[in-house]
Structure 1
């Protein structure tokens, strides 16, 4: 199966390798790129103590770029959305990592169950505010530091048209609402997909799926859990 991956280049390459291992042919179309704010992250870590929360693997990559400055903080407890992100944090050297099985809301509830307060949330932009909203409802004290942002990448419309016309993909993977929105802002993307009656639009969550135009809702498939293992199991 030919599978179009819309993730940023770094994470897209990892997904492509997993797809090859599963016997699929990946097609890469990065629609966002990360910009890290290491100064903000370093200052936040140095002026806080206690637990850290992350809701994206991009936060782990940002922390990795801190190098030796991260070493004093690897003993801090870290809470992550999803086992994939949690495992990346463990590989980076964090010694106490706890993962929620679902979305940001579930992560907030897990943190509250563990009686964690004075939490440092290393966040990205743009982001859903589900995690922060639930923490407030649970009366948890937390500090938000935006330490990376995802900038949209605008591909050449002619390149995309050729990709969707000449030996087109069988499925398109969407991991975030932002990149799904970026994809459907590409001229002719929606109309070209409508000409592919068997196309599958596979989304990481219901929130991501909200960015898919109504005319293509019948092509939607949504991962049972918001992690890559469940997403790729739909292929």
Structure 2
């Protein structure tokens, strides 16, 4: 049997990941640490005075295309997966950073001028990092509006609890600081801290890794680039090394 991997991503973001795990022969369980809600909006979005759009997640794209038919403004995206969603939605001009909010800030500086007007950032209420603060000294005005909610999970599925307690899980995948933080809180609430010492934590970035440092793992690992492809490549290296 293939290694057993725990996916902590929200369901809305997991389709490509699950397909990739299946293609690589992994067994997998899911414990979404965030549940995505797209609340109804009373008034349509008015984005006529913005020079471009900022997307820090695929869910931001999903929310935006349900609220506006605008596809001509430049879309400045945190990474390739978000950029692909923009392209599939019909945006004319799509630019992708390397998967990190700091890279996105650099991309914005390169692609648009602060003097050309404000940028619209459809996002969740809580985000990883503050783009507005990062770019304020450069003169950029970023209007971040909440268009969806990422609600932290308050429980672990029974099959996941059983697998952790029986030490069946080989690796846990973490894609964001908030999912990692939520996982830690749930592990502590279920008193599972002693059941992860044989498990590898596979993290998208150092910021994600920092959120799981309170738990005792077999090892924690960080992808060399903050993309799903690099994370899966790292996963393959880790589980191969553990089984040889």
Provide the TM-score with structure 2 as the length reference. Answer: 0.84
Q: Secondary structure of 1:39's partner?
A: coil
Shift of 1:182: 1.3
Alignment pair present for 1:191 and 2:194: yes
For the 8 Å contact 1:41–1:145, the answer to whether it is kept is no
Q: Distance in 2 between matches of 1:146 and 1:111?
A: 20
Aligned 1:138-153 pairs, distance under 5 A: 138-153=138-153
Q: Distance in 1 between matches of 2:224 and 2:109?
A: 24
Partner of 1:169: 169
Provide the TM-score with structure 1 as the length reference. Answer: 0.87
Q: Distance in 2 between matches of 1:153 and 1:48?
A: 37
Judged with a 3 Å threshold, the aligned counterparts in structure 2 of structure 1 residues 97 and 177 are, in CA distance, closer, same or farther, namely same
Q: Which moved more, 1:6-15 or 1:224-233?
A: 6-15
For the 8 Å contact 1:40–1:146, the answer to whether it is kept is no
Shift of 1:218: 5.8
Partner of 2:4: 2
Partner of 1:13: 15
Partner of 2:53: 52
More helix by share: 1
- CA offsets 1:141-195 (integer angstroms, 9 cap, x no match): 221112112101122475543021346121100111111111111212322112x
Shift of 1:122: 1.3
For the 8 Å contact 2:80–2:98, the answer to whether it is kept is yes
Aligned 1:155-166 pairs, distance under 5 A: 155-156=155-156, 159-166=159-166
Q: Distance in 2 between matches of 1:182 and 1:27?
A: 17
- CA offsets 1:26-63 (integer angstroms, 9 cap, x no match): 21111111122452894243x53320001111111212
- CA offsets 1:68-94 (integer angstroms, 9 cap, x no match): xx32x1111110001111011100111
Shift of 1:217: 6.0
Structure 2 stretches of 5 or more lacking a match? 236-244
Judged with a 3 Å threshold, the aligned counterparts in structure 2 of structure 1 residues 218 and 42 are, in CA distance, closer, same or farther, namely farther
Structure 1 stretches of 5 or more lacking a match? none
Alignment pair present for 1:63 and 2:83: no
Q: Distance in 1 between matches of 2:43 and 2:98?
A: 26
